[in-house]
Amino acid sequence: MKRILKTMLLVLIILMSTVSCNKDELFVEEKEIVKEETPGGNNEEPEEEEEPGKPDATLPCDFTLDNVEPNSTIVINCILDLEGKTVDLPANVTIDYEGGDIINGTINFSEGNTIDGNLLNSTLIIGGTKPQVKDPTFNFDPKRWGIVEGKVSDDVAWENRNILSEIFIKVKELGVNTFRIDEMDAYFKVSKDDNFPPKSRMADIFIPSDFNLIMTDNTHLRVQPNKYTDYTLLGVYDVSHVTIKGGHLHGDRDEHQYIDHGGETGHGDSSLINLEAAYDVVVDGVHMIDATGDGILVKAIGFAFNPDYNPSNKILIKNCIIDKSRRNNISIVNAHDVVVEHCEILNAGAPTGKSVGTLPMMGIDIEAYRSTDDNGNIIYYELAQNITIRNNIERGSVTTAFTVFIGDDVTIEDNETENGIGYAYATGVKIKNNKITGDGTDKYISAIGAGKADTETTYDCEISGNTIVGYNTAITLYSKDTKIFDNETEDCRRGIFVTNSNNIRNVDIYGNTFKSDRSNSAGFYAQLAALNDINIYENEIDVNGNAVHFSSVNLEAGTENNTVTVNNNFFMSSNPAKVSNSNGIILRDNN
């Protein structure tokens, strides 16, 4: 044993000595290795074997559904033609999709069945117990369901409407809550004939509760040109928890048949989206253009004084572009808790060359309805309350950008507009931190209209932090119990203007800056008005004419004790104050 170990040690020492002594051999050039050819053979590199490919999903299946076992899974990776037959599935069967299809027949499902939504199509009839879809998100392929794209006849457009409305309801019943549409450009007839009720869930594309309609920039839903005065493209009626996101909605404004009901000045009662008694609805990033009436209409079912009154509630409209509606881009007539934010409100009521607008032609119109009974009591048929309009851009509206004609507790803030903002018969309105820019022409008469002359129902309002440039009048004041502060006006003929009113009282005007080089411009101008308990203080006024100007103020009987106090202001005008034929005007401690 010792001899063997010594021998192995001796061999190891010799090998180590050889390696260390032949350093030159460590850097010998690598010799080219010549591969020996096989005589008469194939000398190419052997190809790697390909993995078995997936089946061709366009080929017919080599199986049927006739003998399916319970609790099994069927993979559809081929075309399974039922040939018009009806198949009864046992319990707890799952049908998976791998690129194939099931066509031309009926499947009667039973308890516990599941099917992949990609297998649903217009030729497969679902019977028996409703199965659950594997994924609550459904990707709609218009070609699989028979939608005909492009310009079509009225009959085809009506069938397009039926297909889309019915598939919404069908997949919703199967457990789908998100319906996605990508590439589709189709017309939809949303009023069937003269005897068919036009604006109803039977005539519009009706969206069910607990449903998300998600469209892309490739999705275009178009109103089939018609002659009706009252219709809707997408209807959200008496349902809740709905989202409409993305896509393009096209009205028929320039192809509409204005043949009766006022001709081109009528036909304003239609809409692209109608939210009626809708609860918890989001309209996000939708592009709406060329509505014959309104882009979006928000309303209720029933009247406010009835026990079954059902207003729209908790509505969010955001990131939308609404352009060239003939009437208003958005009308809110009977709703509570509405927010409109980060939208582009463009060209409301503007003429197109093929059609003219119809009144009131506003970007956003908040207008509930009320009347007065024989005793002078106001009856509210509709209510518009707790509404916020913020961070929007408005351009090109024919009349005003945003108006609260009749509504309560409305905040309009942080918007950029070129047309005016205002309120008429309203309470609790706040117009804050908006930038309103005109071009200095008489087109832009009043940037902010505060109230309506001689009404007792307009009060408790605030106008603050706004920047107003290039208007004839920055603020026209009619409302009582109002605060106007921290506004900046530039290049306006009048900062605040009051005229022809006997109802203005309890108003504080302070901390504002009025600057203008216009001829005879004024900071505060009042004429032919009854003013009481008006306090104008700590304002900076630098105008070409009079800083304050009162003409024929407090002359009527009963105004003997009225007061307007102008104090602690900084006047940089060459003509600080002018008072003519007026009573109760107090000027003191102004610089």
Two tokens, residue 324: 């060239």
- The β-bridge relationship of strands 321-323 and 344-346 is parallel
The reported pLDDT for the residue numbered 581 is 96
Task: Give the pLDDT score at 27.
Answer: 36
Q: Report the pLDDT value the prediction gives residue 443, as an integer from 0 to 100.
A: 74
Residue 83 — left, alpha, or beta (φ > 0 → left; ψ -120 to 50 → alpha)?
Answer: left
Q: What per-residue confidence (pLDDT) applies to 52?
A: 58
Q: What are phi and psi of 378, to 5 degrees?
A: -85, 130
Residues contacting 23, CB < 8 A, separation 6+:
none
Phi, psi at residue 25, to the nearest 5°?
-70, -15
- According to the model, what pLDDT value does residue 198 have? 47
Which residues partner with 485 through β-bridges?
Answer: 464, 510
Tell me which DSSP letter residue 439 carries.
-
Tell me how far apart the alpha carbons of residues 94 and 109 are, in angstroms, rounded to a whole number.
10
The pair phi, psi for residue 344, each rounded to 5°, is -105, 120
E strands, 198-247, where? Answer: 205-206, 211-215, 219-223, 232-237, 240-245
Instruction: Please give the C-alpha separations between residue 248 and each of 157, 269, 292, in angstroms, as whole numbers.
Output: 17, 20, 15
pLDDT at 270: 93
pLDDT at residue 201 in the model? 54
Spatial CA neighbour of 407 closest among 390, 431, 386, 432: 386
CA distance 364 to 531: 31
Instruction: Describe the chain by its helix, strand, coil percentages, rounded to 5.
Output: 10, 45, 45
Digitized pLDDT (tens) for each residue of the chain, 591 residues in all: 444 444 443 333 333 333 333 333 333 344 344 444 444 445 555 555 545 567 899 999 999 999 999 999 999 999 999 999 999 999 999 999 999 999 999 999 999 999 999 999 999 999 999 999 999 999 999 999 999 999 999 999 999 999 999 999 999 999 999 999 999 999 999 986 655 554 555 579 999 999 999 999 999 999 999 998 889 999 999 999 999 999 999 999 999 998 876 666 677 889 999 999 999 999 999 999 999 999 999 999 999 999 999 999 999 999 999 999 999 999 999 999 999 999 999 999 999 999 999 999 999 999 999 999 999 899 999 999 999 999 999 999 999 999 999 999 999 999 999 999 999 999 999 999 999 999 887 778 899 999 988 788 899 999 999 999 999 999 999 999 999 999 999 999 999 999 988 889 999 999 999 999 999 999 999 999 999 999 999 999 999 999 999 999 999 999 999 999 999 999 998 888 999 999 999 999 999
Cis peptide before 39 (omega within 30 of 0): no
Q: What are phi and psi of 162, to 5 degrees?
A: -60, -45
- With left for phi above 0 and alpha for psi between -120 and 50, is residue 267 left, alpha or beta? left
